[in-house]
Amino acid sequence: MSTLTVQNIQGSSSSSNTINVASGHKISGDAGSIFVPGQIISAGTYNTGIGSGARLSTTSTSWQVLEINGTNQATFGRISKYSDDGLQFNKISNSSHLIISLNVPSYNNNGNNGHGIRCHMETTQGSNTYDILDITDEGPGHGWGFHGYGGATAAMNNFTWCTYDNSSYRATIKASTGNMKFFFKVKNWSSADSITYNDYSDTYPKYGTVQVYEVAE
């Protein structure tokens, strides 16, 4: 089998600048080797599991680390656990951004106030470690607005962060490859509320999930 090495490939004007691949044939490559802007080039999913290792009950109005270390955890793709409460995603490209999605069930026994969830990420490049606190500064980054008001409530909370939104560290994250470490923090707007995350009742969903998508710039 021969190897063709070129810098650019383009279609001819006679074919409307289109390169055609014959029927029954395909172009293939390793993960991240072939991509176009906006394409998902790698992904991963993590299931927090159930039991005390995945459960957090809090009345705190300070940020608390969300537990993810339950039993019957499940992982798929390029995501893995690096500690009892931290995950890491193996980023392929030095020209891509990450979309991080968290789905976590919770129960507020009072419901007079809301709560917030934020994402903390760090990356090591050379001898430097970058702490990227609160990837988004608005919406879920604040300690209110979720669970709302009006008595005890159960909810499935859905949050999404995009590293491109962080202008301070956008270039750093884009250029980073390898394991990107991250975890989640939660807090209550009022200590009058007691909120339990993950595995709080046999009646409701018991575990959370995390999805990460690497998107080519």
Distance CA 70, CA 50 (A): 5
| Whole-prediction pTM | 0.79
Torsion sign over Cα 13, 18, 23, 28: positive
pLDDT digits (tens, 9 = 90+) for 33-65: 677 788 899 999 999 888 778 888 888 888 888
CATH topology of domain 37-216: Jelly Rolls (2.60.120)
Tokens of 137: 């500064």
Q: How confident is the model at residue 169 (pLDDT cuts 50, 70, 90)?
A: confident
- Amino acid code (one letter) for 185: K
Q: pLDDT value at position 175?
A: 86
Overall average pLDDT of the 172-201 stretch: 82
pLDDT(140) > 60: no
Distance CA 194, CA 201 (A): 14
